[in-house]
Structure 1
Amino acid sequence: MPFRTRAVVTGASLATAAVLLCPAAAVARTPAAPAAAPSAAPSSTGWSVAPAPGSGARPGAQDRPFFYLEGAPGTVMTDRLSLSNPTDRPVTVRLHGRALGSSGGGDLAVRGPDRGPGPGSWIAPATERVEVPARTRASVPFTVTVPREALPGDHPAALVATSGGRDRTVRIHLRVAGPALSALSVENVSVTRRGSTAVIGYTLVNRGNTVLTPRLAVRADGRLGTELHRAARTLPVELLPGRRLARTEIWRDPPAWDAVEVRLDVTAGGGARATGAATYTAVPWTATAGAALALTAGCGWVVRRRRRRTQPGSGTRGSEGGSGDVAAEAGGRARELASTGAGAASGPGSGVRS
């Protein structure tokens, strides 16, 4: 169960945070481990950040992996970040807030620092620069101020610690109280042949105000039966409200000859559901090549026939040319046979008397 914080920070609370971080008190520190003999090289584990557990305890694997804050517009919430430095050298860390963007890799991508009205600008660490001595842990308060005009729903952000050119990020699941709407759509569905496989392309669009983790089922039905059936599975995607994300599915061994309809069914938490489809006609290249050759040969025969009919002195005219050629050839053959027969009748031994 995620740890939830719903607290309005008063002026006294902010003053307490400032006292904890003033130069006289420095940063609240707790030894991370008993003092050890100094070594020539720093520890290989390096420094780390995590949500601070309660009662000043040391963060552990069983603690919350991220912050969860929820409040109405106009609310100011507070929590604490734990910075651990188990190395043998002090570490200077700078803190700032950032918004998060949709990612196709199972996590929300860190965007640039918010300098406008985005959720990253709502985050304010009690100090932007912290020096953590060797083998020491620091606990740093921060606040999240939700603007009065903020829309209800999820506004993912992160608290980022930077040192030596390296960032460590802790996610903040921030929800502004109000009606939650989970809605999505599937757009731009296409099927493209690529060698021995086919690529199914599509775009997911989050049309609600909550972060969605979609589940996808794929089915392809053709005239010869069902060609593809993939049961619903969770995609490695987190889709932010209002964001679009283009994705592809590889269809191995698609049909060689069939006309199919590819259907994508997508669901997500909160009752979100959408469907997209595209048609795909598979024709073997050998059949296509054979048809092209037959068509080419037929066209060539027609052209040659027409040229023969229109040659000068052919004795043909229009559609009657063919019958004239046949009649002339038949007449010549008949005369040849007649002359041969007459010669044979008048010769010696013919048995014919005058």
Structure 2
Amino acid sequence: MRAAPRSGLLAAATALVGVVAAAPAGAPGWTAAPAAGRPYAYLEGTAGSVLQDTLSLTNPGTGPLTVRLTGQGAPVAFAARTVTVPPRTRADVPFAVTVTADTPPGDHRGTVRATAAGREVRVDLRLRVNGPRLAALTVEDVRVDTATGDLHYTLVNRGSTVLAPALAVRADGLLGTVLDRPGHPLPLTLRPGERAARTEPWPDPPALDSVTVRLTATAPGAAPATARADAAFATGPALAATGGTLLAAAACGAWALRRRGGPRIRRAPAGATP
């Protein structure tokens, strides 16, 4: 499950239920878990809403336990950030998650952290934001590096779902197609609103040609997106070879003209009227 962009409700977070730090010797075996014995906290609502749940803190020890609560990857507000739980008691602490108005529809994750007596317990927080889902992808800022042949471009997720894009490349020169690379998956995923600047290598571009390069990006559920760029390749060796061919052709023409004695001028007979 992918996280929402930083501008939305949740940033990237890895969440697990359970103790993530070993308990020191003699530390009480206290627990933190969603109320009603659920394995994780689950909230569902629309963008712009405030969703509420409860965290249960259990202290089986013989002395009071002070627990500090924090949220990660989500704007979580607790009824109290620090809670002192009496011995052999359970304390239920309400908390609220604010779903910002720009949060895209879909599934998001965060974490609630409880820290006490040298231990930390993390509780998985799962949020589903309701609303229409839109898959939209664009290709922008296409540029050809004529020195290396590399193709530079930017992919932008313009929709509200996570995308796994693929890319196809085609280049046409003056005499036909010089590159035809079918669609291939790219090693990345794009969260809603995310941009990714990338480079597609072209190890054997033409030495002397004028080409039009077209990049076509696709992703499941999204319409294909195409962008193009024009480039002129003219390497030094290719120019030297072309120049030598032209000089040779000119020399051959001059030699043939001399062999024919050059253009002949016909003179009019003496006394003839022009």
Q: TM class by shorter-chain length? A: 0.5 to 0.7
- Partner of 2:198 in structure 1? 247
SS in 2 for 1:247: strand
**Structure 2 residues not aligned, in runs of 5+:** 3-17, 26-32, 58-66, 85-91, 247-274
Q: Which structure's residues are more often helix, by fraction? A: 1
- Partner of 1:76 in structure 2? 51
Asked if 1:145 is matched to 2:84, the reply is: no
- Partner of 1:267 in structure 2? 218
Question: Which of these residues, 209, 214, 227, is aligned with residue 179 of structure 2?
Answer: 227
Task: Please state how far the C-alpha of 1:173 moved relative to its aligned partner.
Answer: 6.4
Task: Please state how far the C-alpha of 1:203 moved relative to its aligned partner.
Answer: 1.4
Tell me which amino acid in the other structure corresponds to 2:97. V
Task: Please state how far the C-alpha of 1:284 moved relative to its aligned partner.
Answer: 2.8
Asked if 1:177 is matched to 2:177, the reply is: no
Tell me which amino acid in the other structure corresponds to 1:188. D
CA gap of 1:233–1:68, structure 2 versus 1, over 3 A, is farther
Structure-1 separation of matches of 2:54 and 2:210: 58
Structure-2 separation of matches of 1:277 and 1:179: 31
Output one character per residue of 1:214-250: Cα deviation in whole Å (capped at 9) or x when no partner: 2222233333434241433143132323x33322222
Question: Which of these residues, 234, 256, 263, is aligned with residue 207 of structure 2?
Answer: 256
SS in 2 for 1:253: coil
Q: How many residues align?
A: 205
Highest relative contact order (Cα 8 Å, sep 6+), 1 or 2?
2
CA gap of 1:216–1:156, structure 2 versus 1, over 3 A, is farther
Structure-2 separation of matches of 1:173 and 1:78: 11
CA gap of 1:210–1:81, structure 2 versus 1, over 3 A, is farther
Output one character per residue of 1:1-56: Cα deviation in whole Å (capped at 9) or x when no partner: 99xxxxxxxxxxxxxxxxxxxxxxxxxxx999xx99x6xxxxxxxxxxxx979946
Asked if 1:280 is matched to 2:231, the reply is: yes
Structure-2 separation of matches of 1:202 and 1:159: 35
Structure-2 separation of matches of 1:199 and 1:294: 29
Tell me which amino acid in the other structure corresponds to 1:233. P
Q: Which structure's residues are more often strand, by fraction? A: 2
- Partner of 1:210 in structure 2? 161
Structure-2 separation of matches of 1:267 and 1:74: 33
Question: Which of these residues, 55, 70, 89, is aligned with residue 95 of structure 1?
Answer: 70
Aligned-pair identity in percent equals 37
**Structure 1 residues not aligned, in runs of 5+:** 3-29, 39-50, 58-63, 83-91, 99-119, 132-138, 296-354
- The structure that has the greater radius of gyration is 1
